[in-house]
């Protein structure tokens, strides 16, 4: 029997960056600090599944060394899963929640293309604005805070 556990996928978005937590409930097996999640639930939450070639999503596969540390009797070991994908993982065992973030190399690579990363966010009236809709004009992007 698994314990209810929330995984939040804060990975690079294929489309424009938008707000909204991508949180999925899964059933986890918790043993001390280790969290294991059934392979099929990892696949529906995060899109990755274990094949002979390695850990795959779509056409992309990551080779898996020491497969037994990833695929355990209780499912996919979450910490080793994050390590193989080189993605940062923030986890709170007591709260039964974890966030899988985006690795620095992906973010750095996108910034180094110098193409301004696209995003879509709402204004106070709830109208959404998308950066790339301003192509053809100069844009001054100002980030401020309400502190």
Measured distance CA(75)–CA(117) in Å, rounded: 36
Q: Is 99 in the site for other proteins (CB under 8 A)?
A: yes
For residue 49, give both structure tokens. 């599944």
Distance, CA of 136 to CA of 30 (rounded, Å): 52
Report if residue 90 touches other proteins, rule: CB under 8 A. yes
Binding flag, residue 144, other proteins (CB under 8 A): yes
Question: Residue 17, interface with other proteins (CB under 8 A)?
Answer: yes
Q: Segment contacting other proteins (CB under 8 A): 24-32, 46-54, 61-69, 108-116? A: 108-116
Integer Rg of the chain from CA: 18
Cβ(84)–Cβ(64) below 8 Å: yes
Binding mask 23-62 for other proteins (x = CB under 8 A): x---------------------------------------
The answer to whether residue 65 forms part of the interface with other proteins (CB under 8 A) is no
User: Which residue from 4, 10, 79, 69 is spatially nearest to 41, judged by alpha carbons?
Assistant: 4
Among 2, 10, 38, 79, binds other proteins (CB under 8 A): 10
């Amino acid at each position: 029997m698994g314990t209810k556990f929330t995984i939040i996928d804060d990975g690079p978005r294929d489309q424009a960056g938008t707000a909204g937590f991508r949180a999925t409930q899964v059933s986890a097996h918790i043993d001390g600090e280790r969290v294991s999640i059934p392979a099929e639930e990892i696949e529906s939450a995060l899109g990755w599944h274990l094949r002979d070639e390695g850990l795959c999503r779509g056409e992309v596969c990551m080779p898996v060394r020491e497969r037994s540390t990833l695929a355990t009797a209780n499912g996919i070991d979450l910490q080793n899963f994050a390590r193989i994908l080189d993605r940062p993982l923030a986890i709170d065992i007591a709260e039964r929640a974890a966030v899988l973030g985006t690795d620095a190399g992906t973010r750095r690579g996108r910034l180094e293309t110098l193409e301004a990363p696209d995003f879509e966010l709402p204004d106070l009236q709830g109208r959404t604005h998308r950066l790339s809709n301003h192509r053809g004009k100069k844009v001054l992007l100002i980030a401020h805070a309400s502190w």
